[in-house]
Structure 1
Amino acid sequence: MKKGMLTLLAAVVAGGTLLGFAESTNAAKAVKAVKADSKKKQVISSTSVEVLLHTRKMKFPDARPYKDENDRVLVPLRFVSEALGAKVNWDPKTDTATITKNELKVEMTVGKLSGLVNGQEKTFDTPMVKKQQRTYVPLRVVSEAFGEKVEWDNVSQWVWIGKKEFKTLEELGYKPQSIEPFKKYFKKEKFLLNRENDQGQVIGQFKKVMIIEPETLPFQFREHTVIMDMGLMGADKDKKSGQRISMRTNSRGDIGVNIFHLMDDGVPRFRNSISVEKHADKVTSTYRYKIRSSSDELLNIQNPHYWDLGDVKYIGFYDYSKEYMILMKNSWRES
């Protein structure tokens, strides 16, 4: 039953694309919304990057990693060293850092392209630097010296350190809670609350929900599907009709994970992916979704075109086979 309704919704959304809402094949690169804390001084760079340690994004409290003019990623010295389980000894007279972990040791001096790695002199392709009262060290030098694999992800401008073994929400410590307080968002389209078996038969309703944050990503969504990141693409914030939500996963299929928007009016807006970009890494793809759709008019929504992503409270990841529903808090919500 539900599959038939979803097929109809998908067809209507696709029809909207044919009626003039087509996605541009030259969509701009993903733009990530950043809420800056004006009380903190951060290194702002057009080439800022994310660093993931064993698939979890590292949080840098007051200084961001960045890519320098030599195309190398530099990170705050003390923070990343301690995250790798190492200790830092700083000599202010010589601007030299000695980083140790068990029997391993790295010695580097600000501005110099050579240093000692486990007792052997090494030449680096970019030096350790001081910037905005912080000391930055080449990430690859430190990580590999301590036995961690380093991989550059050109698609998302990420650096992967260590094992790429993605965790489920349960493994990340999330626990399901009652869905009752969230049923107010499903006054219409209640079929989204139904669970089904592999044959498409309704076997009950969701009783639990898992609430996650955007920072939860990446995580193992299904057995063979990892939701890696989400962002905005297309027009800038003032041209909301041209915006798209993007979702990067490890899938290579033509259709992405279905999502839905939950708002205070109690009418879920179901969205299937409208286009896909399969990346050159031959592993991941980015799927694009409409924010508003012509299909919303069929749901008898009052003023269907006068809302935007900032009105959405939760973004749901649709999977009728799970024992709980997954809802992500909307990081683009207007306060």
Structure 2
Amino acid sequence: MTILRKTLGEKYVMKKLLAFLTAAAMLSAVLADSAAAAASIKRVSKPQIQVLLDGKKMSFADAKPFSDSSKRVLVPIRFVSEALGAKVDWNSAKSTVNISMNKKEVTLVLGQSSAKVNGVTMKFDTQAVSSHSRIFVPLRFVSEALGQTVNWDSQGSWVWIGKQEVPKIEDVSELKDLGEYKKYFSGDYGRSLISYGKDSKFKSIRIISAAQLPVKILDHTIYDIWTVSDGDNIGLQIRYKGPDLDMFFISSKFEPKQRSGYIKKISEGFKIATYELKHPGDGLFHGDNNWRTLSLKSIDYFCFRSYIGEDSVHLLFNPFK
């Protein structure tokens, strides 16, 4: 009996080990293919021009910034008055815009590639225009003329005005009780996401939207998120700074799904992490026989873990639902 049990036990262990090694080999092949495919995938939609003032993304309700034929960013004149705090006067009879702030005065004429700054004529390579019943002015020229620092982020199509300090998640989100969100954290992964240490569990949660990016979450700074495709499959990419970044798909319909990104370093400390939406690991290791049917819209949140120094669970609302 002892020998039989030992033999059966050894066979069982060998069977499980063989299954694990087979699954690991399959997964390694998938990951290798993923790394090769990451170079060929394309962004689903073109990046939209974003304007950030002192590290916070600005919203444009009725008229969006755009890039003209000279690749200069133009913004609605209302932004200059409301965001920068300048006084703006529009003279429809003369088609002129007068902008004043902090003892600086800028006068532009629609359709002309020159302006007066404190009475001195200055030329630039674009012009103020009228579009869709809105007056648009060149952002860099006007901002710098008013004493602001302007930087162009070509990777994200972002214009940074003023300080480039990214806010912490604590500064842009409300601390909520975790209790009403526990339905999102079922299974082993779910329990691990709301736990830290041996027997301790988080009691609170912070949720942000993509409109609040960029944001600093402990040792990670997350700048942007977008969808990509290789022609057949949909994936996600995140532009960020910091250590390698694991992401979890969170939904009330299924247990959290972990994704390790394929990381590509770009420039100035930035990284691009690519994540597969559908992954065979969900079936191989977690028994999810429906992993091929996972859709982006079925995900409610994306979860990021830094594991060190956290005071709460951090979620990003899925902007692609």
TM-score, normalising length from structure 1? 0.82
Are the counterparts in 2 of residues 13 and 293 from structure 1 also a CA contact under 8 Å? Answer: no
Give the letter aligned to residue 278 of structure 1.
K
Distance 2:251 2:26 in 1: 19
Per-residue deviation, 1:12:
8.9
- Secondary structure of 2:37's counterpart equals coil
Q: Percent same amino acid at aligned positions?
A: 32
CA RMSD of aligned residues (A): 2.1
Q: 1:311 aligns with which of 281, 292, 298?
A: 298
Distance 1:47 1:181 in 2: 35
Distance 1:316 1:155 in 2: 24
1:181-223 alpha-carbon deviations (Å, 9 max, x no partner): 2211222122222213xxxxx2511111111111121011114
Give the letter aligned to residue 84 of structure 2.
L
Distance 2:193 2:26 in 1: 17
2:5 corresponds to: none
Give the letter aligned to residue 244 of structure 1.
G
1:328 corresponds to: 316
Distance 1:88 1:317 in 2: 43
2:4 corresponds to: none
> Which is further off, 145-154 or 11-20?
11-20
Classify 1:48/1:248 alpha carbon distance in 2 versus 1 (closer, same or farther; 3 Å). closer
Distance 1:81 1:12 in 2: 60
2:234 corresponds to: 243
Q: Does structure 1 residue 15 correspond to structure 2 residue 28?
A: yes
Are the counterparts in 2 of residues 13 and 272 from structure 1 also a CA contact under 8 Å? Answer: no
Are the counterparts in 2 of residues 313 and 329 from structure 1 also a CA contact under 8 Å? Answer: yes
Per-residue deviation, 1:296:
0.5
Per-residue deviation, 1:310:
0.8
1:55 corresponds to: 55
1:124-182 alpha-carbon deviations (Å, 9 max, x no partner): 1111111111111110111101111111111111111110111112222x221111122
Q: How does 1:243-262 map to 2 (within 5 A)?
A: 243-251=234-242, 256-262=244-250
Q: 1:301 aligns with which of 253, 277, 288?
A: 288
Are the counterparts in 2 of residues 13 and 295 from structure 1 also a CA contact under 8 Å? Answer: no
1:220 corresponds to: 216
Classify 1:19/1:100 alpha carbon distance in 2 versus 1 (closer, same or farther; 3 Å). closer
Distance 1:217 1:22 in 2: 27
Give the letter aligned to residue 264 of structure 1.
S
1:268 corresponds to: 256
Are the counterparts in 2 of residues 50 and 57 from structure 1 also a CA contact under 8 Å? Answer: yes
Larger helix proportion of the pair: 2
TM-score, normalising length from structure 2? 0.85
1:35 corresponds to: none
1:68-113 alpha-carbon deviations (Å, 9 max, x no partner): 1111111111223321010110100111000011311100000011
Give the letter aligned to residue 136 of structure 1.
F
Q: How does 1:90-169 map to 2 (within 5 A)?
A: 90-169=90-169
Distance 2:215 2:253 in 1: 30
> Which is further off, 178-187 or 309-318?
178-187
Give the letter aligned to residue 240 of structure 2.
T
Distance 1:28 1:74 in 2: 30
- Secondary structure of 1:305's counterpart equals helix
Are the counterparts in 2 of residues 47 and 66 from structure 1 also a CA contact under 8 Å? Answer: no
Classify 1:12/1:163 alpha carbon distance in 2 versus 1 (closer, same or farther; 3 Å). farther
Distance 2:315 2:65 in 1: 30
1:79 corresponds to: 79
Greater C-alpha Rg = 2
Q: Does structure 1 residue 186 correspond to structure 2 residue 185?
A: yes
Distance 1:151 1:160 in 2: 5
Classify 1:76/1:57 alpha carbon distance in 2 versus 1 (closer, same or farther; 3 Å). same
Per-residue deviation, 1:259:
1.0
Per-residue deviation, 1:235:
3.7
Give the letter aligned to residue 328 of structure 1.
L
Structure 1, unaligned runs of 5 or more: 1-10, 33-45, 197-201
